[in-house]
Structure 1
Amino acid sequence: MTATTEAPSTHTDDSTDILARARTQVLENGQPLGYDDLVEVLRTGDDRLEELLQLAHDVRLRYNGDEVEVEGIVSLKTGGCPEDCHFCSQSGQFTSPVRSVWLNIPQLVRAAKQTRETGASEFCIVAAVRGPDEKLMTQMREAVKAIHAEVDIQVAASLGMLTQEQVDDLRDMGVHRYNHNLEAAKSYFPDVVTTHSYEERFQTCQMIRESGMELCCGGLVGMGETLEQRAELASQLAELDPHEVPLNFLNPRPGTPFENIEPMESNDALRTIAAFRLALPRTILRYAGGRELTLGDLGTRDGLMGGINAVIVGNYLTTLGRDPKEDLSLLSDLNMPIKALNATL
C-alpha cells in the first residue's frame, strides 16, 4: 500500500522550508536534491502540492526547455519471460493471461511507421526475456536495418540484461538508446524480484552508459514501497545519471503477486513526479505505464505541468494506454511543442 502523507508544518524560515531550499538548490543553482531532502519533499502535504508542482515545472523549463519528447513502443517478444518480477504479467511463472508471442520484421517496420505518424521521434523494441540469445540479437539486427531503411525514426531497445559483447553489438547496429529499469530501490528490490539481483541490473546500466548509447533507466512506484524507498530509488537513478527516466505507476495485473495492491493515490503520484524532477533536473522524465489508471486525464495534465517532459503514446506492453490523439491534443492545449527528430540526432 502507498505510504500516508504527513501534514506539513508551518515554516517561516527559508532554511527549514524544503520547497524554499529546493528552489535555491535546484532551480537557481542547478544542483539536484539528495535523499534526505527528497524524503521531505515526498512528505509535503496536499496544501503545498500546487507550489511543489510549479517549482518542478520551473526546473523542467529552465534545464530542459518546453519541448516534449514523444515515443512509441512495441513488444518484439511478449510473455513467457523466465523472471519473476512481481508486477509483470509477462512472467511465465505466474497465472496471468499473457503468453509468448513473437513479431516478424514486416510487423515491426509497420509499427515503426505508425509510431512516426504520431509525431514520435523514437521507437522502442521490447522483448520479455532475461537477456537476449543469438536468435533475438539476429532479429534485432535485421529489424533495426529494415526500420532505418524505411522510417525516419530513432530506434531504441529493451532486451533485458546484457553482456559487454551484446552492448557493443547493439551500439554498432544503430540502437540509439537502451532501456533497462532499476525497477525498485535497492532496499526494496528483493520484495519485487527474486530471480536476479539489483546489482545485475545496475551493471547492465553501467555498461550501456559507458558504451556511448543513451541510457534509459527508470522504475515503478506504488508497489508497496515506503516514501523513503521512493526517495532512495530517485537517488540511485541520479547516481547512474541516465539520459531518460521512465516513471511507471503500478497497474495491478491479474495473476501476479501484486494483483491486490491498491493503485497509488493521484496526489502521491504527482508528488513523486515532482520529487524525481528535483532529483534529476536535467534528465528526460517520461510518463510511462500506469498513468491512465493512477492519474486520469486531469492528473496527466498536472504531471505535464509538474516536471514531466516526455510521454509514451499509444499502448504499453500488456496494458492499454490513451489514444495517441488525446495525448497530442493535450500537448497542443498546453502549448508544449513536440521535440523534432532532427533535434534528437
Structure 2
Amino acid sequence: MNDIMERARRTVLEQGRGLAYDELVEVLRLPDDRIPELLDLAHQVRMRHCGPEVEVEGIISLKTGGCPEDCHFCSQSGQFTSPVRSVWLDVPQLVKAAQETAATGASEFCIVAAVRGPDERLMSQVAEGIRAIQEAVDINIACSLGMLTQEQVDRLRAMGVHRYNHNLEAARSYFGSVVTTHTFEERWETCQMIRDSGMELCCGGLVGMGETLEQRAELAVQLAELGPHEVPLNFLNPRPGTPFGDLPLMDSKDALRTIAAFRLAMPTTILRYAGGRELTLGDLGTREGLLGGVNAVIVGNYLTTLGREADEDLRLLWELRMPIKELAKTL
C-alpha cells in the first residue's frame, strides 16, 4: 500500500482530504506511462467531490497595459518592451462584452485591470460598469483589480461583486524570481481579506516559469491552505519583451501531471483552465485535462493572448457530456 496512487485513492477519493506536499511531489514525478491512471483518479475525485457540472467564464480587460509592476511573465507591465500599451474600455463596451459572454452560457463575467491596485478613478468606473451590466444581463460579476485595502474590499462587495480574482502566481519560495515590486505576503493579505468578506475568492497561479517540481507542489499546498473557492491554472505563454519571453513551453505531460496534482491537493475546489492551455496542451491535451480534474473553463480570448474560439470549447464540453453550470446569482 506504499504506491502513491493507492494512497491518493484512499486519502482523496475515499476520505476527501487533499494530498500533502511530499505526496504531491511523488505525483508530479510519476512516469509518463502512469499519466492515464493519474488522470482517471483525478477525474473520479472531481466527479465525487464536485459533480459533473462545468463552470464557464468570460473575461475582459477594463484597463490593459501600463501596469507599474514587474511580473516577469506579463506583457502588460510598463517596465518591459512588450507591445501591450495602456487602453481603457468604456462602459458600453463592457456591457456588450458581458452580453456576449452570457450568450455563450457562461455564468461568470470578470472585469480585469492591469494595475497594482485600484485608485478612485478605477473604482468609480468599475462601479458604473457593474451597475450597467446588472441592468442589462443576468450574470455573476467578478473583478480582478490588483491588491486592495479593506475599504476597497467592502466597496466591491457592496457593488455586488460575486467573486474576486487575485492569484498567488508562484510558490512563496519562487515568488522573488517572478516579481520584485511587491511580495508574496502582500498578495496573501488581499486574498485573506476577500475570503473573509464573504465574496468568493478566485486564486491560482502560473506554472512553466522555470520553477521546480517541488515548487509546483509547494504552490498547490499554499493554495489549499488559503482555501479559495476557485483556482485558475495558467501555463506560461512566453511573451516577447518580457523576462520570461525566451522560456520554452511547458511539456504537455508535465502540464497534465500538474492538473491532476492540483485536483488531488484540492478535491472540492473549482479548478479552472486558464491562459496558455491552447499552446501547452493543444486540442487532445485540453480534452485530457477536462477528463483529469478540470471543472471550469475561460472561454474566448484572455487579457493579451488569444484563446480558443468559445464555440470550440462549448462543442468539446457537449461531446464530453459535461453540463454547463446554470446561471445562479449567489449574492
Same fold (TM over 0.5): yes
Q: What displacement does 1:134 show?
A: 0.1
AA in 2 matched with 1:290 = G
Q: What displacement does 1:222 show?
A: 0.2
Does 1:152 pair with 2:155?
no
Instruction: State the partner residue of 1:83.
Output: 69
Q: What displacement does 1:342 show?
A: 2.5
AA in 1 matched with 2:75 = S
3-state SS of paired residue (1:341)? coil
TM-score by length of 2: 0.99
Instruction: State the partner residue of 1:8.
Output: none
CA distance in 1, matches of 2:247, 2:5: 31
Name which of 184, 197, 207 aligns with 2:193.
207
Does 1:187 pair with 2:173?
yes
Name which of 15, 32, 35 aligns with 2:18.
32
3-state SS of paired residue (1:229)? helix
Does 1:71 pair with 2:57?
yes
Instruction: State the partner residue of 1:330.
Output: 316
Name which of 49, 69, 88 aligns with 1:102.
88
Name which of 270, 289, 292 aligns with 2:275.
289
The answer (yes or no) to whether the contact 2:139–2:329 under 8 Å persists in 1 is: no
Q: What displacement does 1:344 show?
A: 5.6
Name which of 200, 206, 209 aligns with 1:223.
209
3-state SS of paired residue (1:237)? helix
Instruction: State the partner residue of 1:92.
Output: 78
Instruction: State the partner residue of 1:341.
Output: 327
Instruction: State the partner residue of 1:56.
Output: 42
3-state SS of paired residue (1:80)? coil
Unaligned regions of 5+ residues in structure 2, if any? none
Q: How many residues align?
A: 331
Does 1:128 pair with 2:110?
no
Instruction: State the partner residue of 1:299.
Output: 285
AA in 1 matched with 2:193 = M
CA distance in 1, matches of 2:166, 2:79: 21
Does 1:243 pair with 2:243?
no
AA in 1 matched with 2:295 = N
Identity, in percent, stands at 77
TM-score by length of 1: 0.95
Q: What displacement does 1:343 show?
A: 7.5
Does 1:316 pair with 2:302?
yes
AA in 2 matched with 1:51 = E
Q: What displacement does 1:242 show?
A: 0.2
CA distance in 2, matches of 1:342, 1:247: 23
CA distance in 2, matches of 1:23, 1:79: 44
Instruction: State the partner residue of 1:259.
Output: 245
The answer (yes or no) to whether the contact 2:301–2:308 under 8 Å persists in 1 is: yes
AA in 2 matched with 1:64 = C
CA distance in 2, matches of 1:262, 1:240: 30
3-state SS of paired residue (1:161)? coil
